[in-house]
C-alpha cells in the first residue's frame, strides 16, 4: 500500500521508468548552475567548496553572545547568525514594561549601537558573513551593524551577509510584527533601495518558509506561501520604481529541513524551478542571477524532542543531509538540547561538528545533485511543484499574498495541516521516537543552560547610562527627521541611520515609526 508524503502526495513502494513517462530532462533539469536551476544554482556546487556553516546563536547580553560567536569561529563556523531576544524583535527596549521577563531569554538583547559594538567586538566584519534573524525592526539593526563596521574602518561595500527582513511571514505564522502590512512593505522596499546604493553585497531579505513549517505547514505549503510572499516583495519593489534586475539578485530564501529526506530534497529542487520560471517568465528578469533561488536552511526545531534528547543528534544529522542533498547555500544545524533550553557550548559545538562530518567525511560533496534522474525523487519533485503551484494560484485568486494574509488564508491552511499532524501523532499513526514509541520509564537527568536573571537589570542600567550621556536634543531632532520621512515618500533609512548614530535606541526608532504608521492588529482581533 502506498504511503503519503508530508504534503499528502502518494509515495509508491517502487518507482520505475513509467514514473517519468513524458518527462523532458532538458526542460525539467537543465544543467547545474543553469535555468531552471533544478540541479542547483552553481555549476560546481560543493565540489568547489562546502556550503556556509552558519550557526544561529545569541543569548543574554551582547558580551555573552560575543564570547559564543568567537568560540564558534574558533571551532570552524564560516558564518555568524544572530538570534535576538523578543523585545528586540518587537521593537521594544529592554526597560520597556512589555519587555519584563523576556530580556536576553531567546536571543541577545540589542538596544543601541553600543550593544551592537560589544556584540561584534574583536570580530572583523570584512572577513565574516553575518545573518541577522530580525524582521519588523530589520532596518535599524542593519544600520547599527553598518555603523559598527564604519567604526572598525570597514567599507560598506565589503560587508556580506543577510538580514531576514521578511515581515509577511510574521503575519502568517510567527507574530513578531510591529506595523501594518502596507508600511511594512514600504520599509522593506526602502531597505532594498538603501542596500542597492550603500551595501551592494548584502542580501536584503531572507524570505522565510521555515517559520511556516514550524507552525505546521507541509512542504508544499511551505514553498508555495514563501514564494507567494516573494512575489509580493518583487511587486512592492517594482511599484517603488526599481528595476527587477537591480534588486532580485540580492533576494534570498530560508527553508526548513525535515527528517523526511527524499521529500525534502524534492522540495528544494521544485522551489528552485518554480522561482526561476516566475522571475524569468512572470517578471521578465534578464539577469540569470535574478532567476536563482539561493537559500539558507535550518534543521527542524519543531521535530526536536525533550524526551531522550540525545536522539535529536540523529534527527539533525538526517535533516542536515537532506539540506545538503537538496543544494542549500548555507546551513544551521540545531543543537540536540534545544527542546529543553538554549544550547550549551558543548551542544552548539556538536551541532557544528555534524555539518563538518557531512562536508568532510562523506562523499555527498563529490558530485552535484546526486539524485538527478532518480525515478522517485524526480516524480516527487514534479508532484510537489504541481501541489505548490495550485496553492500559489489560490493566493493569486485572493488578490496576492497580502490580501490572502488579511483574509487569514495561509494561516488557516497551515493550522489545518498542523491539526492533522497532531492528530496522527496522538493516535500513533505518525511515529515520534521516544514520544509515542520506544519510550523510557524515566528520563536521564540533564542540566540546561540558564540565562542569568540579572541580565535584565544590567541592560536597564546600560540604557539609563546611555540616555544620560548622549546629546538628547540631537536624538530628538534626528527622530523628528525620521518621522518626517515616514510621513512622506523619502527613504527612511538615511535619517534612521543618523538617529542611531546619535545613540537613539531600537525602541525609540520603532516608536517614532509607530506614531506615523500605527501598529498591526491581526484580523481575529478586529
Instruction: Please indicate, yes or no, whether residues 407 and 460 belong to a single structural domain of this protein.
Output: no
pLDDT band of 1, cuts 50, 70, 90: low
Both 399 and 468 in one domain: the answer is no
Report the percentage of the chain scoring pLDDT > 70: 99
pLDDT in tens, 151-165: 999 999 999 999 999
pLDDT of residue 525: 42
Cell output for 331: 546551513
In a domain, 24, yes or no: no
HSE, CB side, 13 Å, CA atoms: give it for residue 346. Answer: 6
**Position 394 in a domain:** yes
CB 216 within 8 Å of CB 415: yes
Tell me, yes or no, whether 254 lies in a domain: yes
pLDDT-derived band of residue 471, with 50, 70 and 90 as boundaries?
very high
Q: Are residues 463 and 407 in the same domain?
A: no
In the structure grid, which three cell numbers stand for residue 404, read together?
A: 490572502
What confidence category does residue 526 fall into, taking pLDDT thresholds of 50, 70 and 90? Answer: very low
> What is the spatial distance between Cα 264 and Cα 299, in angstroms, rounded to a whole number?
11
Q: Are 457 and 61 in contact (CB under 8 A)?
A: no
Q: In this structure, is residue 416 part of a structural domain? A: yes
Overall size of the chain counted in residues: 526
Helix (H, G, I), strand (E, B) or coil at 56: strand
- Whether residue 371 sits in one domain with residue 321: yes
Q: 419 and 472 in one domain?
A: no
The mean of the pLDDT values for the chain is: 96
Residue that finishes a domain, picked among 427, 442, 474: 427
d(CA 279, CA 503): 40
Among 427, 444, 463, identify where a domain stops. 427
How far, in Å, CA of 88 to CA of 68, rounded? 19
Burial degree of 95 (CB within 10 A; 0-12, 13-18, 19+): buried
* N- to C-terminal Cα separation, the chain: 47
Widest Cα–Cα separation across the chain: 74
Residues 501 and 377 in one domain: no
- Flag whether 14 is in a domain: no
Question: Per-residue pLDDT tens for 92-120?
Answer: 999 999 999 999 999 999 999 999 999 99
Question: What does the H/E/C string look like for 48-85?
Answer: CCCCEEEEEECCECHHHHHHHHHHHHHHCCCEEEEEEC
pLDDT digits (tens, 9 = 90+) for 510-519: 999 999 999 9
Read off the pLDDT of residues 322-369 as tens digits, 9 standing for 90 and up: 999 999 999 999 999 999 998 999 999 999 999 999 999 999 999 999
470: containing domain: 454-520
Whether residue 322 is found in the same domain as residue 463: no
491 and 419 within one domain: no
Contact 219, 233 (CB under 8 A): no
Structurally, the chain folds into a number of domains equal to: 2
CB 340 within 8 A of CB 324: no
Specify whether 294 is located in the same domain as 179.
yes
Helix or strand run (H / E) with residue 375:
helix 375-397
User: Is the residue at 288 inside a domain?
Assistant: yes
**Full-model pTM:** 0.94
Q: Domain of 248: which CATH number?
A: 3.20.20.240
- Assess whether 298 and 410 both reside in one domain: yes
Amino acid at each position: 500500500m502506498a504511503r503519503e508524503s508530508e504534503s499528502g502526495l502518494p509515495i509508491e513502494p517502487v518507482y520505475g521508468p513509467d514514473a517519468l513517462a513524458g518527462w523532458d530532462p532538458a526542460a525539467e533539469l537543465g544543467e547545474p548552475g543553469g535555468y531552471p536551476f533544478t540541479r542547483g544554482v552553481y555549476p560546481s556546487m560543493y565540489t568547489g567548496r562546502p556550503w556556509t556553516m552558519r550557526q544561529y546563536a545569541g543569548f543574554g547580553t551582547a558580551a555573552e553572545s560575543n564570547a559564543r560567536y568567537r568560540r564558534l569561529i574558533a571551532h570552524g563556523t564560516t558564518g555568524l547568525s544572530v538570534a535576538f531576544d523578543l523585545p528586540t524583535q518587537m521593537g521594544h527596549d529592554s526597560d520597556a514594561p512589555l519587555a519584563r521577563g523576556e530580556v536576553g531569554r531567546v536571543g541577545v538583547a540589542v538596544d543601541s549601537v553600543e550593544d551592537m559594538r560589544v556584540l561584534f567586538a574583536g570580530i572583523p566584519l570584512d572577513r565574516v558573513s553575518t545573518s541577522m534573524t530580525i524582521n519588523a525592526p530589520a532596518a535599524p539593526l542593519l544600520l547599527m551593524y553598518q555603523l559598527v563596521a564604519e567604526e572598525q574602518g570597514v567599507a560598506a561595500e565589503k560587508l556580506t551577509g543577510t538580514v531576514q527582513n521578511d515581515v509577511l511571514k510574521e503575519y502568517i505564522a510567527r507574530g513578531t510584527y510591529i506595523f501594518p502590512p502596507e508600511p511594512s512593505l514600504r520599509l522593506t522596499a526602502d531597505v532594498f533601495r538603501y542596500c542597492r546604493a550603500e551595501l551592494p553585497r548584502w542580501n536584503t531579505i531572507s524570505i522565510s518558509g521555515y517559520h511556516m513549517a514550524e507552525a505546521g505547514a507541509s512542504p508544499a505549503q511551505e514553498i508555495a506561501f514563501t514564494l507567494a510572499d516573494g512575489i509580493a516583495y518583487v511587486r512592492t519593489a517594482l511599484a517603488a520604481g526599481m528595476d527587477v534586475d537591480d534588486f532580485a539578485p540580492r533576494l534570498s530564501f530560508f527553508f526548513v529541513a525535515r527528517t523526511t529526506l527524499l521529500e525534502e530534497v524534492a522540495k528544494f529542487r521544485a522551489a528552485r524551478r518554480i522561482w526561476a520560471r516566475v522571475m524569468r517568465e512572470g517578471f521578465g528578469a534578464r539577469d540569470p542571477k535574478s532567476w536563482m533561488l539561493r537559500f539558507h536552511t535550518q534543521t527542524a526545531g519543531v521535530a526536536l524532542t525533550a524526551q531522550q534528547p540525545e536522539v535529536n543528534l540523529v534527527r539533525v544529522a538526517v535533516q542536515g543531509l537532506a539540506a545538503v542533498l537538496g543544494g542549500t547555500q548555507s546551513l544551521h544545524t540545531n543543537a540536540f538540547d534545544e527542546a529543553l533550553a538554549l544550547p550549551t557550548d558543548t551542544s552548539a559545538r556538536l551541532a557544528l561538528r555534524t555539518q563538518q562530518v557531512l562536508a568532510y567525511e562523506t562523499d555527498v560533496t563529490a558530485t552535484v545533485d546526486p539524485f538527478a534522474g532518480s525515478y522517485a525523487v524526480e516524480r516527487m519533485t514534479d508532484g510537489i511543484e504541481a501541489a505548490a503551484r495550485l496553492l500559489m494560484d489560490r493566493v493569486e485568486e485572493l488578490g496576492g499574498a497580502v490580501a490572502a494574509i488579511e483574509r487569514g488564508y495561509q494561516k488557516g491552511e497551515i493550522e489545518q495541516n498542523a491539526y492533522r499532524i497532531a492528530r496522527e501523532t496522538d493516535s500513533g499513526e505518525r511515529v515520534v521516537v521516544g514520544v509515542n514509541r520506544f519510550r523510557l520509564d524515566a528520563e536521564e537527568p540533564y542540566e540546561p543552560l540558564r540565562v542569568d536573571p540579572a541580565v535584565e537589570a544590567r541592560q536597564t542600567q546600560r540604557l539609563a547610562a546611555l540616555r544620560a550621556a548622549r546629546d538628547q536634543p540631537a536624538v530628538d531632532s534626528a527622530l523628528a527627521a525620521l518621522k518626517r520621512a515616514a510621513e512622506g515618500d523619502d527613504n527612511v533609512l538615511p535619517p534612521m541611520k543618523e538617529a542611531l548614530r546619535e545613540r537613539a535606541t531600537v525602541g525609540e526608532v520603532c516608536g517614532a515609526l509607530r506614531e506615523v504608521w500605527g501598529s498591526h492588529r491581526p484580523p481575529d482581533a478586529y
